[in-house]
Amino acid sequence: DIVLTQSPATLSLSPGERATLSCRASQAVSNFLVWYQQRPGQAPRLLIYDTSNRATGIPARFSGSGSGTDFTLTISSLEPEDFAVYYCQQRVDWPYTFGQGTKLEIK
Amino acid sequence: QVQLVQSGAEVRQPGASVKVSCKTSGYIFLTYYIHWIRQAPGQGLEWMGVINPTGGSPTYARKWQGRVTMTTDTSTSTANMELSDLSFEDSAVYYCTREGQLLPFDSWGQGTLVTVSS
């Protein structure tokens, strides 16, 4: 199975700052890397699919990049509603796997 | 609009089974795979498996093979996930979600809390 490792586990930033979240895969996943946001008590929400494509309704401050085994989610200027947990997921092959998550908290 | 509406919270004893349903609407049921994801309290997301509503055998994650059964009912556009031989570690929120040809999990059910308690 493909293991996804996210870093950091927790990121403490202030509104308006830039956030950079990392996801590393144990083997190449082509561009089939996806990012989700999960707020407390809610289902995950699709943010970015296939490395860099924003899902419908996702603000332009969210962007994704990377290739092969190393991927990044960037939030250019944090809004209060962006403080949540972020998961990466690979969908190159079953079993699909998720990273362990990065908690983005208010500093 | 697209909706995936799951059945309500369940409490089971160890060794019992639980069946969670996921009723879909707002799209053509046959054109999207249904996946099931588990989230234990305070933990991350775990992929359990996938089923193609048009037919064929589901694919299950190794961890749950032998205990999980995924089915669909095309007459009601509903997917079901049954987990047997429950243990305390199976207490979690179970989500259904859909995957299309282009888009991954773009719509999710609201989650079903399963509590295993003696």
Contact: B104, A98; criterion CB under 8 Å = no
pLDDT of amino acid B56: 84
What distance in Å separates residue A49's CA from the closest CA in chain B? 7
| Percent above pLDDT 90 for chain A | 100
Listed in sequence order, the residues at least 6 apart from B28 whose beta carbon sits closer than 8 Å to its beta carbon are none
What distance in Å separates residue A41's CA from the closest CA in chain B? 9
User: Chain B partners of A49 at a C-beta cutoff of 8 Å?
Assistant: 103-104, 106
If 0-12 CB within 10 Å is exposed, 13-18 middle and 19+ buried, where does residue B15 land?
A: exposed
User: Chain B partners of A97 at a C-beta cutoff of 8 Å?
Assistant: 47
User: Chain A partners of B99 at a C-beta cutoff of 8 Å?
Assistant: 91
pLDDT of amino acid A79: 98
pLDDT of amino acid B117: 97
pLDDT tens digits, residue range B64-115? 999 999 999 999 999 999 999 999 999 999 999 999 988 999 999 999 999 9
Contact: A94, B105; criterion CB under 8 Å = no
pLDDT range class, residue A80, cuts 50, 70, 90: very high
pLDDT tens digits, residue range B13-64? 999 999 999 999 999 999 999 999 999 999 999 999 999 999 989 999 999 9
User: Chain A partners of B95 at a C-beta cutoff of 8 Å?
Assistant: 43-44
Q: 3-class SS at B104? A: coil
Mean pLDDT on B1-22? 98
Listed in sequence order, the residues at least 6 apart from B96 whose beta carbon sits closer than 8 Å to its beta carbon are B4, B6, B20, B22, B34, B35, B36, B37, B79, B81, B108, B109
Query: Which structure tokens are listed for B55?
Result: 């037919």
- How many distinct helices (H) and strands (E) make up chain B? 0, 10
pLDDT of amino acid A8: 98
Q: Find out whether A49 and B103 touch, Cβ atoms under 8 Å.
A: yes
Listed in sequence order, the residues at least 6 apart from A57 whose beta carbon sits closer than 8 Å to its beta carbon are none
pLDDT of amino acid B50: 98
Q: Which of B47, B95, B109 sits opposite A96 (nearest CB)?
A: B47
Number of Cβ pairs < 8 A linking chain A and chain B: 53
Q: Choose from A96, A98, A102 for mutation: most chain B CBs within 10 A.
A: A96
pLDDT tens digits, residue range A7-65? 999 999 999 999 999 999 999 999 999 999 999 999 999 999 999 999 999 999 999 99
Q: Which of B44, B47, B111 sits opposite A101 (nearest CB)?
A: B44
SS3 of A18-81: the string is CEEEEEEECCCCCCCEEEEEECCCCCCEEEEECCCEECCCCCCCEEEEEECCEEEEEECCCCHH
